[in-house]
């Protein structure tokens, strides 16, 4: 974890300020020692003093960016805030990062004792407030997307893992057998407990990071931070009186293919270019269709802008699985959701074609 913005900046500023004041008053003394007939009028000296003091005060209130950079959820996390007080800024970003770390211990499949792993092992379990809220949000997105987003997809992910290593295709019969353990409708939540059928396991990877970003933003605001940005592996939330410019990666080349400006909004992208292998000229990637068991083909990249990051995170996956037609229809149904879809097909734009459900500058 690395701190951006030097906490010694404030002390250096004070030293610089004292140096300038000392230099200024020595200059005034020299001026007063001049003969009266060439000395500036007293009102001119007072006006000059006032202007210098106003300038120093305005510089003292100048806001600076501070932040942490760390590693969570299997990726990088950057927290950046705009705040004149370095002590306040440091305290706020540390608390926000700690909140995300705590949630990682709830949602992560990489931590053996995480709450989600304990439920997967036992097939049931008591739900913490955060896990219950996230499960309910995930199930709501699953319902609205007609199962395109499904958190019971873990058996399917585990099934494909060995084929990603060997870069071969699975047996269709084995794949069909695995699909019987994928169906969000079979999750039962009663009061503060969850129950899974035998063989079912949960994977919150398509929604948990967005939830953690939202919680961290809440912590920053509670600490009095008015402007900031959190970027957790590409799940981004920018808040405050500032226009944040975010780029979308070209899924088939270098650089950016599009830029968006967000204000008090979240943005997330799902793409087929992070984890994949080629077989027979076809791209087999990590975003799986819960109904077919195979990778969701049709989209190369889906970006969603939403009022909160958990929504942007989940809907970017759901729309990717649905494809252009149904994905655009889903985005247009949901208030506050805007989507930008890139497909890999023959077009005048280097094989890529772009679709969007909005006119976003």
Q: How far apart are CA 337 and CA 310, in angstroms?
A: 12
The values of phi and psi at residue 344, to 5°, are: -100, 95
Q: Which residues have a Cβ under 8 Å from the Cβ of 111 and sit 6 or more positions away?
A: 104, 105, 117
Report the Cα 139 to chain-centroid distance in Å.
21
Annotated binding site for Mg(2+): which residue ranges?
206, 313, 317
> 43-61: b or e for each residue (b if 16 or more CB lie within 10 Å)?
eeeeeeeeeeeeebeeeee
- Alpha-carbon distance of 241 to 263, in angstroms, equals 7
From residue 284, how far is each of 58, 272, 279, 292 by CA, in Å? 56, 8, 7, 13
Feature table: binding site:
206, 313, 317
225 close to 81: Cβ distance less than 8 angstroms: yes
Where helices occur in the chain by DSSP H, the ranges are 9-32, 42-60, 86-107, 115-122, 129-144, 154-166, 172-179, 208-222, 309-322, 324-333
Which residues have C-beta within 8 Å of that of residue 196, sequence separation ≥ 6? Answer: 119, 120, 123, 124, 152, 186, 187, 188, 202
Residue in 210, 204, 206, 274 with CA at minimum distance from that of residue 236: 210
User: Taking the mean position of all CA atoms in its chain, how far away is CA 141?
Assistant: 18
Beta carbons of 163 and 295 less than 8 angstroms apart:
no
Among candidate residues 95, 274, 348, the one with its CA nearest the CA of residue 283: 274
Q: Is 2 helix (H, G, I), strand (E, B) or coil?
A: strand
């Amino acid at each position: 974890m690395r701190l951006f913005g030097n906490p010694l900046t404030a002390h250096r500023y004070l030293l610089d300020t004292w140096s300038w004041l000392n230099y200024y008053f020595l200059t005034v003394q020299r001026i007063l020692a001049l003969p009266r007939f060439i000395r500036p009028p007293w009102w001119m000296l007072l006006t000059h003093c006032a202007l210098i003091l106003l300038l120093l005060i305005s510089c003292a209130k100048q806001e600076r960016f501070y932040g942490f950079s760390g590693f969570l959820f299997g990726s990088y996390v950057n927290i950046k805030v705009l705040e004149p007080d370095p002590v306040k800024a440091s305290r706020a970003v540390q608390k926000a990062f700690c909140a995300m770390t705590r949630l990682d211990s709830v949602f992560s499949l990489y931590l053996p004792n995480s709450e989600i792993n304990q439920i997967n092992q036992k097939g049931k379990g008591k739900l913490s407030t955060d896990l219950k809220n996230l499960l309910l949000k995930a199930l709501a997105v699953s319902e609205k997307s007609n199962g395109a987003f499904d958190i019971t997809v873990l058996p399917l992910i585990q099934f494909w893992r060995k084929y990603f290593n060997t870069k071969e295709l699975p047996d269709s019969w084995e794949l069909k057998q695995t699909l019987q353990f994928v169906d969000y409708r079979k999750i039962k939540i009663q009061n503060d407990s969850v129950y899974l059928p035998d063989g079912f396991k949960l994977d919150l990877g398509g929604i948990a990071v967005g939830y953690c970003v939202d919680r961290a933003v809440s912590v920053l605001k509670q600490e009095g931070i008015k402007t900031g940005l959190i970027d957790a592996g590409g799940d981004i939330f920018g808040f405050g009186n500032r226009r944040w410019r975010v780029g979308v990666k070209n899924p088939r080349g270098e650089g950016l293919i599009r830029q968006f400006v967000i204000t008090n909004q979240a943005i997330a992208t799902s793409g087929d270019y992070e984890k994949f292998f080629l077989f027979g000229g076809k791209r087999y990637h990590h975003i799986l269709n819960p109904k077919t068991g195979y990778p969701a083909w049709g989209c190369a990249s889906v970006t969603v802008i939403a009022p909160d990051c958990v929504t942007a995170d989940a809907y970017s996956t759901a729309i990717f699985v649905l494809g252009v037609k149904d994905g655009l229809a889903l985005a247009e149904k949901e208030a506050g959701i805007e989507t930008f879809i890139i497909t890999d097909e023959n077009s005048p734009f280097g094989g890529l074609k772009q679709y969007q459900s909005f006119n976003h500058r």
